Protein backbone atom coordinates (compact mmCIF):
# COMPACT_ATOMS: atom_id res chain seq x y z
CA UNK A 1 0.00 0.00 0.00
CA UNK A 2 1.41 3.37 -1.04
CA UNK A 3 1.63 6.33 1.31
CA UNK A 4 0.80 8.63 -1.61
CA UNK A 5 -2.71 10.05 -1.84
CA UNK A 6 -4.68 8.21 -4.51
CA UNK A 7 -6.55 10.54 -6.86
CA UNK A 8 -9.92 9.64 -8.38
CA UNK A 9 -11.22 11.77 -11.24
CA UNK A 10 -14.66 12.18 -12.67
CA UNK A 11 -14.57 12.21 -16.48
CA UNK A 12 -17.07 14.48 -18.25
CA UNK A 13 -16.67 18.10 -17.24
CA UNK A 14 -13.60 17.29 -15.14
CA UNK A 15 -10.98 15.64 -17.34
CA UNK A 16 -12.63 16.22 -20.71
CA UNK A 17 -15.00 18.66 -22.38
CA UNK A 18 -17.23 16.04 -23.98
CA UNK A 19 -20.44 18.04 -24.24
CA UNK A 20 -20.06 18.83 -27.98
CA UNK A 21 -19.92 15.14 -28.95
CA UNK A 22 -22.65 14.17 -26.49
CA UNK A 23 -24.87 16.91 -27.91
CA UNK A 24 -24.12 15.89 -31.49
CA UNK A 25 -25.03 12.24 -30.82
CA UNK A 26 -28.22 13.22 -29.00
CA UNK A 27 -29.26 15.57 -31.78
CA UNK A 28 -28.64 12.97 -34.48
CA UNK A 29 -30.92 10.52 -32.68
CA UNK A 30 -33.52 13.23 -32.05
CA UNK A 31 -33.43 14.17 -35.75
CA UNK A 32 -34.09 10.56 -36.70
CA UNK A 33 -37.17 10.75 -34.47
CA UNK A 34 -38.31 13.98 -36.13
CA UNK A 35 -37.54 16.03 -33.03
CA UNK A 36 -35.70 19.38 -32.86
CA UNK A 37 -32.11 19.90 -31.75
CA UNK A 38 -31.10 20.67 -28.19
CA UNK A 39 -28.87 23.64 -27.45
CA UNK A 40 -25.37 23.33 -26.04
CA UNK A 41 -26.47 24.91 -22.76
CA UNK A 42 -29.40 22.53 -22.42
CA UNK A 43 -27.23 19.45 -22.97
CA UNK A 44 -24.56 20.60 -20.51
CA UNK A 45 -27.23 20.79 -17.84
CA UNK A 46 -28.27 17.19 -18.54
CA UNK A 47 -24.81 15.63 -18.10
CA UNK A 48 -23.63 13.97 -14.90
CA UNK A 49 -26.07 11.20 -14.00
CA UNK A 50 -25.29 8.60 -16.65
CA UNK A 51 -26.49 7.86 -20.16
CA UNK A 52 -30.02 6.70 -19.31
CA UNK A 53 -30.80 9.81 -17.27
CA UNK A 54 -29.23 11.96 -20.01
CA UNK A 55 -31.51 10.46 -22.67
CA UNK A 56 -34.54 10.65 -20.37
CA UNK A 57 -33.84 14.35 -19.80
CA UNK A 58 -33.31 15.01 -23.51
CA UNK A 59 -36.62 13.44 -24.45
CA UNK A 60 -38.43 15.09 -21.55
CA UNK A 61 -37.22 18.45 -22.87
CA UNK A 62 -39.15 17.59 -26.04
CA UNK A 63 -42.25 16.64 -24.08
CA UNK A 64 -41.63 12.96 -24.81
CA UNK A 65 -40.74 9.84 -22.86
CA UNK A 66 -37.61 8.02 -23.99
CA UNK A 67 -37.87 4.39 -25.03
CA UNK A 68 -35.16 1.74 -24.57
CA UNK A 69 -34.43 1.98 -28.30
CA UNK A 70 -33.65 5.68 -27.92
CA UNK A 71 -30.99 4.93 -25.31
CA UNK A 72 -29.55 2.10 -27.39
CA UNK A 73 -29.36 4.31 -30.48
CA UNK A 74 -27.70 7.12 -28.55
CA UNK A 75 -25.09 4.80 -27.02
CA UNK A 76 -24.30 3.22 -30.40
CA UNK A 77 -23.94 6.62 -32.07
CA UNK A 78 -21.95 8.17 -29.24
CA UNK A 79 -19.49 5.31 -28.89
CA UNK A 80 -18.68 5.64 -32.60
CA UNK A 81 -18.28 9.42 -32.39
CA UNK A 82 -17.05 10.14 -28.87
CA UNK A 83 -13.74 11.82 -29.75
CA UNK A 84 -14.64 14.05 -32.68
CA UNK A 85 -14.86 17.38 -30.87
CA UNK A 86 -14.06 16.24 -27.34
CA UNK A 87 -10.87 17.65 -25.84
CA UNK A 88 -8.89 17.33 -22.62
CA UNK A 89 -9.27 20.46 -20.52
CA UNK A 90 -6.33 22.90 -20.58
CA UNK A 91 -3.59 21.99 -18.12
CA UNK A 92 -4.94 18.51 -17.33
CA UNK A 93 -2.21 16.61 -19.19
CA UNK A 94 0.50 18.47 -17.31
CA UNK A 95 -1.31 17.93 -14.01
CA UNK A 96 -1.68 14.20 -14.70
CA UNK A 97 2.00 13.92 -15.66
CA UNK A 98 2.96 15.66 -12.42
CA UNK A 99 0.70 13.48 -10.27
CA UNK A 100 1.74 10.23 -11.93
CA UNK A 101 5.39 11.28 -11.82
CA UNK A 102 5.09 11.86 -8.08
CA UNK A 103 3.69 8.37 -7.57
CA UNK A 104 0.04 9.15 -6.96
CA UNK A 105 -2.22 6.23 -7.99
CA UNK A 106 -4.90 7.48 -10.40
CA UNK A 107 -8.38 6.24 -11.27
CA UNK A 108 -11.56 7.35 -12.99
CA UNK A 109 -15.00 7.00 -11.44
CA UNK A 110 -17.71 8.16 -13.84
CA UNK A 111 -21.40 7.62 -14.41
CA UNK A 112 -20.64 7.20 -18.13
CA UNK A 113 -20.74 3.52 -19.20
CA UNK A 114 -17.36 1.81 -18.87
CA UNK A 115 -17.05 0.87 -22.55
CA UNK A 116 -17.70 4.46 -23.67
CA UNK A 117 -15.20 5.69 -21.09
CA UNK A 118 -12.44 3.31 -22.12
CA UNK A 119 -13.16 4.03 -25.77
CA UNK A 120 -12.52 7.74 -25.33
CA UNK A 121 -9.37 7.54 -23.18
CA UNK A 122 -7.06 6.11 -25.86
CA UNK A 123 -7.71 8.64 -28.66
CA UNK A 124 -7.24 11.45 -26.16
CA UNK A 125 -3.98 9.99 -24.81
CA UNK A 126 -5.36 9.48 -21.30
CA UNK A 127 -5.38 5.69 -20.98
CA UNK A 128 -1.77 5.51 -19.74
CA UNK A 129 -2.69 7.42 -16.58
CA UNK A 130 -5.66 5.32 -15.47
CA UNK A 131 -5.20 1.62 -14.74
CA UNK A 132 -8.49 1.73 -12.81
CA UNK A 133 -11.69 2.80 -14.58
CA UNK A 134 -15.03 2.43 -12.80
CA UNK A 135 -17.94 3.25 -15.10
CA UNK A 136 -21.61 3.77 -14.45
CA UNK A 137 -22.28 0.12 -15.26
CA UNK A 138 -19.26 -1.31 -13.42
CA UNK A 139 -21.20 -1.68 -10.17
CA UNK A 140 -24.90 -1.76 -9.27
CA UNK A 141 -24.48 1.83 -8.03
CA UNK A 142 -23.76 5.24 -9.51
CA UNK A 143 -22.60 8.49 -7.96
CA UNK A 144 -23.79 10.12 -5.71
CA UNK A 145 -24.04 6.65 -4.10
CA UNK A 146 -20.73 6.34 -2.23
CA UNK A 147 -20.61 2.62 -3.00
CA UNK A 148 -19.81 3.50 -6.61
CA UNK A 149 -16.82 5.57 -5.53
CA UNK A 150 -15.88 2.90 -2.98
CA UNK A 151 -15.21 0.47 -5.84
CA UNK A 152 -12.52 2.81 -7.20
CA UNK A 153 -11.05 3.37 -3.74
CA UNK A 154 -10.85 -0.39 -3.17
CA UNK A 155 -9.23 -1.02 -6.55
CA UNK A 156 -6.52 1.57 -5.88
CA UNK A 157 -5.66 0.09 -2.48
CA UNK A 158 -4.27 3.32 -1.03
CA UNK A 159 -4.55 4.49 2.55
CA UNK A 160 -5.69 8.00 1.54
CA UNK A 161 -7.84 9.11 -1.37
CA UNK A 162 -9.25 12.32 -2.85
CA UNK A 163 -12.11 12.73 -5.35
CA UNK A 164 -12.02 15.40 -8.08
CA UNK A 165 -15.20 16.31 -9.95
CA UNK A 166 -17.35 19.07 -11.37
CA UNK A 167 -20.73 17.89 -10.07
CA UNK A 168 -22.43 17.62 -6.73
CA UNK A 169 -22.73 13.86 -7.37
CA UNK A 170 -18.93 13.65 -7.07
CA UNK A 171 -18.83 15.76 -3.93
CA UNK A 172 -21.70 13.85 -2.32
CA UNK A 173 -20.09 10.48 -3.04
CA UNK A 174 -16.86 11.67 -1.41
CA UNK A 175 -18.74 12.97 1.64
CA UNK A 176 -20.50 9.64 1.92
CA UNK A 177 -17.15 7.88 2.13
CA UNK A 178 -15.62 10.47 4.43
CA UNK A 179 -12.84 11.37 1.99
CA UNK A 180 -11.80 14.87 0.84
CA UNK A 181 -12.94 16.25 -2.49
CA UNK A 182 -11.82 18.92 -4.93
CA UNK A 183 -14.50 20.74 -6.91
CA UNK A 184 -13.41 21.46 -10.49
CA UNK A 185 -14.98 24.83 -11.22
CA UNK A 186 -14.32 24.64 -14.97
CA UNK A 187 -16.88 21.89 -15.57
CA UNK A 188 -20.59 21.60 -16.22
CA UNK A 189 -22.12 21.28 -12.78
CA UNK A 190 -22.16 22.82 -9.34
CA UNK A 191 -21.13 21.50 -5.96
CA UNK A 192 -19.34 22.16 -2.72
CA UNK A 193 -16.10 20.27 -2.15
CA UNK A 194 -13.50 20.25 0.60
CA UNK A 195 -11.36 22.31 -1.77
CA UNK A 196 -11.98 24.14 -5.03
CA UNK A 197 -9.71 24.30 -8.07
CA UNK A 198 -10.23 27.01 -10.68
CA UNK A 199 -7.70 25.50 -13.06
CA UNK A 200 -6.05 22.14 -13.57
CA UNK A 201 -2.68 23.68 -12.74
CA UNK A 202 -3.82 24.04 -9.12
CA UNK A 203 -4.48 20.33 -8.62
CA UNK A 204 -0.94 19.02 -7.88
CA UNK A 205 -0.41 21.72 -5.24
CA UNK A 206 -3.73 21.04 -3.51
CA UNK A 207 -3.07 17.30 -3.50
CA UNK A 208 0.50 17.79 -2.23
CA UNK A 209 -0.96 19.59 0.78
CA UNK A 210 -3.34 16.79 1.78
State how far Cα 46 lies from the chain centre: 13
Which are the contacts of 59, defined by CB distance < 8 A and separation ≥ 6? 35, 65, 66, 70
Tell me how far apart the alpha carbons of residues 179 and 192 are, in angstroms, rounded to a whole number: 13
- Facing residues of 197 across strands? 184
β pairing state of 195-197 and 161-165: unpaired
Tell me how far apart the alpha carbons of residues 147 and 71 are, in angstroms, rounded to a whole number: 25
Which are the contacts of 73, defined by CB distance < 8 A and separation ≥ 6? 29, 32
Which residue is catalytic, options 3, 10, 145, 166? 10
Which are the contacts of 195, defined by CB distance < 8 A and separation ≥ 6? 180, 181, 182, 183, 206
Nearest to 100 by CA among 128, 62, 68, 139: 128
Tell me how far apart the alpha carbons of residues 95 and 201 are, in angstroms, rounded to a whole number: 6
77 counts as catalytic: no
Active-site residue set: 10
Amino acid sequence: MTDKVAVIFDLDGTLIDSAPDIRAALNRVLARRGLPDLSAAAVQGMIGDGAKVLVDRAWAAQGRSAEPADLADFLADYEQNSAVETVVYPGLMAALEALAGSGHPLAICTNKPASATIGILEPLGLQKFFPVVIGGDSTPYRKPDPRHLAAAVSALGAARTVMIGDHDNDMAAARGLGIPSIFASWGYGSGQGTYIAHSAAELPGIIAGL
